[in-house]
A and B are shown apart, each in its own frame.
Chain A
Amino acid sequence: MKLTVQDLNSHYGPAHILFDIGFEVGEGEVVALLGRNGAGKSTTFRSIVGLVAQRSGRITFEGKDVSTKPTHEIVREGLGYVPEERRIFTDLTVEENLEVGRQPKRPNAPHWTREKLFALFPNLGEMKNRPGGRMSGGEQQMLTIARTLMGNPSLVLLDEPSEGLSPKIVEQMVDAILTMKKEGVSIVVSEQNLHFARLISDRAYIIERGRICFGGTMAELDARPDIRDAHLSL
């Protein structure tokens, strides 16, 4: 297994947010983490990369226990994280944003260069020197993904990549994610949009109120409209 999460519990101050979360991601797999707003998707990702201080449980990445490591060490193992709110460095240019993400080559992961990323996201190549603050939401979303790929991750946590984007940009995003998959990057993508998730994912987990309540292939999920209606529809 590429990534295994077992018995993950997280707290914000006195509030208990995640309850015994567990899931797995295989080598080269794209796995969707589905759930409504506030279900705990982002907290799960933030806990995996160590951005939530109060967490317990066991997180194994490529056979190594990373549960207690600080954020930058987890990321340097090759576990990339693309946050939901994009968090572009608005004062830095596109190239400088990419520079922040740059990490050395990794033997078991595709190597991304600026040129390769500009080919993947042609819009970015046209605005290399533009400050991040003067880009559209879609362009910023592409930049966050490109920035994380500069770290040559073998697995990427993508937090709601389609949120707030126009249909045309979402299409580009689907293409980009499928290209990443083809290159051999394993992906966990959190989504509220089942349609988007179906286009890219091999398997899905559903999270509701901080608990995993379903896990299976996309076909298995489609065979259970009751689950879909109970946990995903609005």
Chain B
Amino acid sequence: MAFYVVQFLTGLASAASLFLVASGLSIIFGVTRIVNFAHGAFYMIGAYIAFTLTERLSGAFGFWGGIVLAALAVALIGVIVEMVLLRRIYHAPELFQLLATFGLTLMVEDLVVLIWGPDDLVGRRAPGFKGAIDFFGQNIPSYDLFLIVLGPVVLGILWLLFQRTRWGVLVRAATQDRDMVAALGVNQKWLFTSVFAVGVFLAALGGALQIPRDAVHHAMDLRIIVEVFVVVVIGGLGSIVGAFVAAVLVSELNAFGILIFPKISIILVFLVMAVVLIVRPWGLFGKPEAAARKTPGLTVNPWRPLTSNERLMALAALVVAAMLPLFAGNYLLTVGSEIAIFVIFAVSLHFLMSVGGLASFGHAAYFGLGAYGIAFLAKMAGLPMIVCLLLGPLLGCMGAAVFGFFAVQLSGVYFAMLTLAFAQIVWSIAFQWVNVTGGDNGILGLWPSSWAASPSRFYWLALGVAALVTVALRAMVFSPFGYALRATRDSVLRSEAIGIDAKRIQWTAFVIAGTTAGIGGALFAYLKGSVFPDNLGISLSVDALVMVLLGGVETVSGAVIGAIVYKALNIWLVSQTDLSKLVLGGFIMLIVVVFPKGIVGMLEMLAQRRKKASPPGSPLLAKPIESAE
């Protein structure tokens, strides 16, 4: 019994940090509508700076002062980031801010290693809380007890801040209608900056308070950000109390899950999140969103099929690409194959995200399922490659059919989070079900049949499939199904009013996108000769998002260009420098600020400008809340 009580208390102690970080994310999202991917990075910097400060400053004051100073310093960094980066992109298309903060995360991951080195750092114990308390023969660290008390105290302080101060009232008002707040004379800019500072302060404090419990390392950010997303979604975006309850729930699930279901402990949390989202789509303490936000700017450049000239140009580009084996070596051809495969992957997400308006944060699940499908068919059933390639993607198709059915019941950020949860479930299965999937060791020794074995032949295969998939999905965009899908994207209500079964259309799109991703994954398995849980991990899902956003989310062909540029740059940078993440992150942020419409979006805009003088002002920065009177 005592053991379970101690386990429970350990869970509560872990909840404290999680709550701090999650409440910060929730506050920032509420007001600025930015899903701050860099929140985990701020948490990590908080831990690193606190480590340095508590090492340098001596005594009890030095320790606690160091923790608070670290959080303040990171909040200052947050203010600079908000003023320099985010202020420029508040009116960019939704999710674009996600791309910017992702770029920031990449940079921080490299910077941290550059400054503090790659090794784990073990910090000082907290003065006054070094011992442990005996509880019926079980030890409870007294620092854990401190954290258990701290959580509710911070909750209380935040509650007072939001209910009893003018700043809190303004923040709550802005959470609901930020333009109206401006129309009452409140300077939004400073409100946003201060909210961002408070949110980042909380994240950094959460990180700093972890140093007596855990080693500080350079992968802390990704681990916490996924958990924090889960907490915020279970609790309800924008609800502080919800973040607290969900943080406790998630931490206890982690603490007990490992005892009761050691095999599926990772899945448990995501399973609970999926159930919560299906039963209460806006989270335990959240409120249903009043009205869907307008799709920004889509009317400016109406989509149209390629003209015959443009078709010829695309064909010419394909022919040039097909001539690569004439002069390139094996390495370049492998790189080319990989890029072609990622074009397939990006195009499939683009179909879901740009055409269907459903931004999936877990698209890698279907890519990876396709890859695992190949592995099962080839290794266990021993089927030949051509059969595997035709059947393997079916696993991605089935996964998409099951998960998509639930996911399309939601929209917006909640859709994104549910798809993320599903992807993590699949990842956990691949990671933990060692008997079948090989776990972390993956499944090795998948080689293409002789007809596709040489690098140039495999390249042609990948290129051909990529071209076919791209053409097929493009044709679908301009088919009646594509029109219906775009109608549901622009207004579910209006499309249903003219007889479109929106959920069924969206589900179909989800399955199409999942199957297509599965095709990419199947080829990828043969290219690499192996499959690993990483093939369906979160970083691959983020890669896909970046490729689509980079190319231009509001364009038809952006994903192709985005995939080529991002993947080529990525591979090249990894081969050139140890600091590839730093350079890539900086590049992404530059693109976001300079070309807020993506690469293809920018080219289209230039082409249009040349055609006719555009109306005064820049249409792409038109405020999203505007509606013609």
List the interface of chain A (C-beta within 8 A of B): 9, 11-17, 38, 40-43, 46, 49, 51-56, 70-72, 75-76, 81, 83, 87, 89-92, 96-97, 99-103, 147-148, 151
Contacts and interface: CB of A to CB of B under 8 A. Distances in A.
B176 A51 contact: no
Contacts of B619: 13-14, 54
Interface in B37-66: none
B543 to A, nearest CB: 32
Interface string B165-186: 0100110110111011111111
A145 B185 CA distance: 14
Given A12-B622, A12-B626, A13-B297, A90 B176 contact: yes
A40 B629 contact: yes
Interface residues of B, number: 35
A15 B617 CA distance: 12
Contacts of A102: 166
Contacts of A40: 629
B170 A100 contact: yes
A99 to B, nearest CB: 5
A200 B551 CA distance: 55
Contacts of A87: 177, 180
B528 interface: no
B183 A83 contact: yes
Interface centre among B181, B185, B616 (most CB of A within 10 A): B185
Nearest to B298: A13
A42 B185 contact: no
A61 B169 CA distance: 29
Nearest to A152: B185
Given A56-B616, A99-B169, A72 B185 contact: yes
The interface residues of chain A, by DSSP majority, are classed as mixed
Given A72-B188, A89-B172, A53 B183 contact: no
Contact of B622 (A13, A16, A90, A92): A13
A224 B79 CA distance: 59
Contacts, number: 104
B93 to A, nearest CB: 14
A11 B615 contact: yes
Contact of B300 (A9, A14, A16, A56): A14
Contacts of B183: 49, 51, 71-72, 75, 81, 83
Given A54-B617, A91-B172, A99-B169, A15 B628 contact: yes
B172 A101 contact: no
Nearest to B628: A12
B621 interface: yes
Contacts of A41: 629
Contacts of B293: none
A148 B621 contact: no
A206 B184 CA distance: 27
A74 to B, nearest CB: 9
B299 interface: yes
Contact of A38 (B184, B623, B626, B629): B629
B626 A53 contact: yes
B450 interface: no
B182 A71 contact: yes
A103 B185 contact: yes
Nearest to B91: A53
B615 A16 contact: yes
Given A14-B300, A17-B629, A53-B622, A92 B186 contact: no
B435 interface: no
Given A17-B629, A103-B185, A54 B172 contact: no
A72 B628 contact: no
26 contacts: A12-B627, A13-B299, A13-B300, A13-B622, A14-B299, A17-B629, A38-B629, A41-B629, A43-B628, A51-B182, A52-B626, A53-B622, A53-B623, A56-B616, A70-B182, A71-B183, A72-B186, A75-B185, A76-B185, A81-B183, A91-B287, A92-B169, A92-B176, A99-B169, A101-B185, A151-B185
Contacts of A14: 299-300, 615, 619
